[in-house]
Amino acid sequence: MVGPLAPYARRVAPYARRLKPVYPRRGRVGWRRWIPSWRQWVGAFLTSFGLLGTFLVTAYAMTDIPSNLNSYATQQDNVYFWSDGTPMARTGWVQRQAMPLRDIPPDVRWAVLAAENESFYSDPGISAKGITRALFRTLGEGDTEGGSTITQQYVKNVYLTQNQTVSRKFTEAMISLKLDNAMSKDQILEGYLNTSWFGRGTYGIQRAAQAYYGKDVGKLNASQAAMLASLLKGAGLYDPTLGKANHARAVERWSWILDRMVKIGKLSPQERAKYTEFPEPLKSNPLYDTGEQSDYLMELASQYAKKAAHLTDKQFDLGGYQIYTTFDRKREKALTDAVTKAREQARRNDAKVAANAHYGGSSVAADGRVLAVYGGPDHRKQGYNDSNATTVPAGTAFTPFVYAAGLEHGVHTSRGGPATPVTPESVYDGDDGVPVTTPEGPYWDRSGKKVAAHNDGGTSYGRITLREAMARSVNTPFMQLGMDAGLTTVRRTAEASGLLSSSIGPQVPALSLGNSTPSAIRMASGYATFAAGGTHTEPYSVRRITRNGAPVALTVPHARRAVGAQVAEEVTEALADSFRTAHPGAAAGRTGVSGRAGTTEKDTAAWYVGTADSVSTAIVVYRIDLARSLEPLPLDGLAGTSADSVPYTLWSAATGLG
């Protein structure tokens, strides 16, 4: 080598030659001939250490604290629209109110630090041990959970994306180191507490305190603070109101956080001893509720939007979404006004009975669009959605599915024999108290008694066709038809038509007379299948979603064949006969209208389900004392009489026939 560096090169050359691997090594035998010397090992280590140090110093010097906050720090509301495109509601799902650290009690701060980063005030902004653990998890299991200090979490919240990648984790660490030198620990903690997600659509400790306990953060005690701190590990898993498993996890972590506060000297053992009872939060966020019917609509729409767009609760809570629903403003008003009027009348008639009254309603188009629902009187007082509840039996409103099963699949008069076709003119025994039979003889229940079918009022009708039995609401033929067609076939037909499998009752003869407990939405959806010529489309409440104007991909429900077109037409014709027979005045001059009342054996629910202008509407009236149980109570006249039915009155108002 020539030039100014030549003298230095000559000095280094002997040492370099020693480090240079020469294989096989002289003076060694066997496998040792191929193993590097200790000098080579030391040289490799020092070189790697130097390169790594150079890389980290360079990366630190080149990393700047971003000047732009990301979307996690600049949240927006979600906006809901009616089907005509006009605004329905602008929700406060994304709620945050920045609080100065001085206004956040020490117990609250230390509950969070005990849960997330007890060494916050002494660490350099990152945890080398935690980052190493997270990197190993990434390489070994494909995720980067764990290993984050408060500073790192704050950096992720306000500067970076939530993507779980090694590059994001490295950038997070570099910015955290710089931020720890640029800001005081109190400033970082204040920012973290005001930007963290606590579930229920809330960002920041102040809104979380209001959402879970209905009070400002300054009024929280250590026990409540520990519960809120547990949510930072994942509100979807630790919000105790979301289920039993969540509740158990929340209680365990709450207790652990309080114990940690004692261990690090931020809570005295005497005060810890006071907190033996878990501080149950409010059942729902009081910041959301307006008390209006739109709260129930938004609840349904948000649930569907997250499912159809594959959004997590946290993503949805970030806001900025425009949710275009299927809800028809005029139909919704007509249904709500009608139920409000019925409630007032019920209170005047019998205030005690009316106190436990529930009215569920839904209108579903033949193509699956949910056009209107009635969920309850006030979402602030009753979060329980009566339109989507699967609590009371469908009763005889279920019989069209039995009729469709028989028409579609025929009946079996002998065990294992071929199916015999059934038509609307097939004749059955319409007498009251007719024993239910199988190919082998009478059907016996577990108590050793013959099972018999009964008609409303104990009326007998003699031999009667299935179509006439549907028109005149005769029950006994359909219980026998269900046995002849097969209860498994009845179940499958009901599910194919839109009823949820979880709501189908036990497969005993009573299945055919409605021991299943479908919601009003699902009953309307099932009848809409007949109106759609036998094709079923899953009910949906959102037709389009955008985020800041950009379309969001949705999983769209598609129509599928449930029963044959001819069968659907025959069921619809029988239901039209039923409507004309029961309400000749309303049917005069009208076409395309069909419907059927539904009663239950123990008088715990009254239904009216029918179709008008290709829109199916289901109304159910029942009584339940939600403060005690979900066991239905006797109606005690709440639903009116068969000649003056409250469900039919509401149905006719909702469909424009009233």
**Distance from C-alpha of 433 to C-alpha of 427, rounded to nearest angstrom:** 17
How is residue 34 annotated by DSSP?
Answer: G
**Distance from C-alpha of 417 to C-alpha of 411, rounded to nearest angstrom:** 10
pLDDT tens-place string over residues 506-537: 999 999 999 999 999 999 999 999 999 999 99
pLDDT tens-place string over residues 568-606: 999 999 999 999 999 998 888 788 999 999 999 889 999
Flag residues of the chain having pLDDT under 50.
Answer: 55-57, 59-66, 69, 71, 93-94, 135, 138-146, 161-163, 165
**Distance from C-alpha of 172 to C-alpha of 148, rounded to nearest angstrom:** 9
The dihedral sign for the CA sequence 162, 166, 167, 172: positive
Q: Encoding tokens for residue 491? A: 């179940």
Beta bridge partners of 607: 598, 620
Strand order in the sheet with 542-547: 87-90, 79-81, 321-325, 542-547, 550-551
Angle between helices 520-531 and 399-409 (to 10 degrees): 40
Using DSSP, state whether 644 is helix, strand or coil: strand
Q: What is the pLDDT of residue 142?
A: 41
Q: What is the pLDDT of residue 507?
A: 94
What is the H or E stretch that residue 463 is in?
strand 463-465
- Domains of the chain are 8-62 (no CATH), 96-274 (1.10.3810.10)
How is residue 36 annotated by DSSP?
Answer: P
